[in-house]
A and B are shown apart, each in its own frame.
Chain A
């Protein structure tokens, strides 16, 4: 019986849901949310420790004009942040960008 008063009162309270795809207002996006990563290319030294520590093999090492560097496969990544933790020069950073769905696998590679 006591629940019915709570239900009645909630008619007059602010709605707890947010209209997400239509507007981002009210979606909690705290600082430090683990989303898509970025690589600071000028800081990366090519040590390949991130590839060894990635739990899902989402990091592959390629060679570009400066030397070895990682590319990130977002379809394997689970956004755990271990690469950010392992990198000795802090070249990898997980931003708060969480809208990573894409129509093709090519868009799921972060270079």
Chain B
């Protein structure tokens, strides 16, 4: 895939560049977003991304609800990474109070966080296979997501909007029977991740459509500030769990998964290996679960403070900023989601340069490989 981009056609009234919109409604997209591709022949030479279609006014809505009610609003910023959003919210409010949660609650939050990461990566694996057209793999990988969701349902009461992290700790205890079930499920997950790795490495249809496609060099990563597995699959080893540990990650040993190639294939491998790493973290936490209480009661009025919390959501670095003013409602709450940070990297990946060409048919796999969650990232509204 190293054809040079075509040279310009001179001396004719032929229009060189066309604008082709992908979206806002498109079968390849799971959520509305407008990608206006500037296309020259079959090669994409530029893209304008508009993600304002999912704007819900959440940051304003945060200011009109109390801290207890805002927990559920934060959870619904994104359905897939709802555990990461509630964890960040709870950490922000607890930091504003300047109080810590009990040790058992820290480990229970960690277990749920990693279960959420596994189920998000399985969703992503299925959706990426679907974008390539490999629907069989989509169905079979989502079948492996069901045991994880059953574990989450038994632990928290619901499959997706878990409402488990609350301000001051976690809501429920975890029984010994559930701990045993989790260990068995992690063993099953390990066999399945080995199978997926073998499948992705041997299946020619996946390799043709993802190897050498959507290359992001380490310099591009730094200049576009990519986050998450998108960044780590280009060789940049930065992970908020390792660099800025929160909620017990400094006590759990784990590896930061990186790949050197930087194409969509590397991102697939990086996410599958992250799933295996999460299974290891969960096993460690289950073996070293401390005893004690799971909740500390915190007052409803939060002291005035400016707090910024970073958490490694499944898609990358998630930041929540809270400005509290001493009352029981936040003064300002700002959410910066990882997909929003990956959009400049997406635009860079979709631009053909002299060394590599991006065809229109490569656009859905490249878009799928950054793990887009446009619902999360619509914080700005474009006023036309």
0/1 per residue, B154-174, Cβ < 8 Å to A?
A: 100110010100100001100
In contact, A82 and B137 (Cβ under 8 angstroms)? no
Which residues does chain B contribute within 8 Å of A81, judged by CB atoms? 157, 163, 171
0/1 per residue, B44-75, Cβ < 8 Å to A?
A: 00000000000000000000011011111100
Q: Is B191 an interface residue (CB 8 A)?
A: no
Nearest B residue to A96 via CB reads B157
| Segment at the interface with B among A28-36, A39-47, A65-73 | A28-36
- Chain B contact residues, CB within 8 Å of chain A: 65-66, 68-73, 136-137, 140, 143, 146, 150, 153-154, 157-158, 161, 163, 166, 171-172, 195, 198-199, 202-204
Specify which of B154, B199, B202 is in contact with A30 (CB 8 Å cutoff): B154
A-B contact pairs, 27 of them (CB 8 A): A1-B202, A1-B204, A3-B140, A3-B203, A6-B140, A7-B140, A28-B154, A30-B150, A31-B154, A32-B154, A34-B157, A34-B158, A52-B66, A53-B66, A53-B68, A54-B69, A55-B65, A55-B68, A55-B72, A79-B158, A80-B72, A80-B161, A80-B163, A81-B157, A82-B71, A82-B72, A85-B171
A85 to B172 CA separation, bound complex (whole angstroms): 10
3 closest A-B pairs by CB = A34-B157, A55-B69, A30-B154
In contact, B150 and A28 (Cβ under 8 angstroms)? yes
Tell me the interface secondary structure of chain A in the complex: loop
The minimal Cβ–Cβ distance linking A12 to chain B, given in whole angstroms, is 15
A99 to B342 CA separation, bound complex (whole angstroms): 41
The minimal Cβ–Cβ distance linking A10 to chain B, given in whole angstroms, is 8
- Chain A contact residues, CB within 8 Å of chain B: 1-3, 6-7, 10, 16, 28, 30-34, 52-56, 78-82, 85-86, 94
Which residues does chain B contribute within 8 Å of A30, judged by CB atoms? 150, 153-154, 157
Which residues does chain A contribute within 8 Å of B146, judged by CB atoms? 16
The minimal Cβ–Cβ distance linking B75 to chain A, given in whole angstroms, is 8
In contact, A1 and B203 (Cβ under 8 angstroms)? yes
Which residues does chain B contribute within 8 Å of A80, judged by CB atoms? 72, 161, 163
Which residues does chain B contribute within 8 Å of A33, judged by CB atoms? 153, 157-158
Which residues does chain B contribute within 8 Å of A79, judged by CB atoms? 158
A22 to B137 CA separation, bound complex (whole angstroms): 29
